[in-house]
A and B are shown apart, each in its own frame.
Chain A
Amino acid sequence: MLNKDKMQIEKEQDVVPFRNRVKEYAVKIGMSLVNQTKLITAASELVRNMLKYANGGMVIIEVISQGRDSGIRLVFQDKGPGIKDISLAMKDGFTTGKSLGIGLPGTKRLVNEFDIKSEVGAGTTVSIIKWKNG
């Protein structure tokens, strides 16, 4: 198995295979069950967002290392409408769709590093890192 992978997400049915792939990577680096669960749940949230607001996109799954620690980085790239006010979206309780309004702030809590860049009309890129012992 490689250290890097790219997956196209176009429809609802792509979500589960994507989650399974992330799990494979997490298991490969020996991540604990709880951390795996947090990572895959965060990935699930972000990929559903991508489908819902941008009609899909691409995800890059990568094994990374920092010193002795290893981790998984996921980068979600879409060409959707973009988010106008990122700081607002990152505030707890914010919602645009009919979701439970947890969205991004909750997802951020599940991972160690969270980065989001968005341009209205161009698209959004969300990048998360979960360390094995994070």
Chain B
Amino acid sequence: MDRIPILQLGKFLLVTIQIDLYDRLATNLESDLVQMVNKTEARGVLIDISALSIVDSFMGRILGNIGSMSKIMDAETVVVGMQPAVAITLIELGLELKGVHTALNVDKGMELLAQKIGLVDEELEEDEVGA
């Protein structure tokens, strides 16, 4: 498998990572996602890592990168489905997942995204009204 599939769900993109990413696959994913965010004008990205039993600093960096890149393209990123053993290990490792939100599953992830981007829209409306 050369590329990880990216699904579009309305204003959001969903990526399900089911295999361990190695270098080339990871960089492909980053660029594919950024392209898709741009093309679809997506406002949110969901990354489902429920199938990953190991998340090391390499993977952490990928997730962080995706978060930062999406943010630049005006999209929020939520990482969902982290396994308990992974969470415990990441805390011990001292790895911070910066620039991404987290949620228990895709449903809750979408709720969270809706909140995050809905808020921004509300603020914009207020500004316009006040202007």
Contact = CB atoms under 8 A, between A and B. Distances in A.
Contact of A15 (B22, B64, B93, B96): B22
Contacts of A48: 56-58
Given A12-B23, A99-B61, A100-B60, A37 B94 contact: no
A87 B88 CA distance: 26
A16 B58 contact: no
Interface in A87-107: 92, 99-100, 102-103, 105-107
A7 B60 CA distance: 25
A120 B27 CA distance: 32
A71 to B, nearest CB: 17
A41 B94 contact: no
Given A100-B95, A106-B93, A110-B89, A41 B56 contact: yes
B129 interface: no
B56 A44 contact: yes
Given A12-B22, A34-B85, A106 B56 contact: no
A13 B64 CA distance: 22
B36 interface: no
B20 interface: yes
Nearest to A19: B54
Given A100-B61, A106-B94, A106-B95, A34 B89 contact: yes
A107 B85 contact: no
B103 interface: no
Most interface-central of B23, B61, B85 (chain A CB within 10 A): B85
A102 B90 CA distance: 11
A109 B57 contact: no
B92 interface: yes
Contacts of B53: 37
B112 interface: no
Interface of B: 20, 22-24, 53-58, 60-61, 64, 84-86, 88-89, 92-96
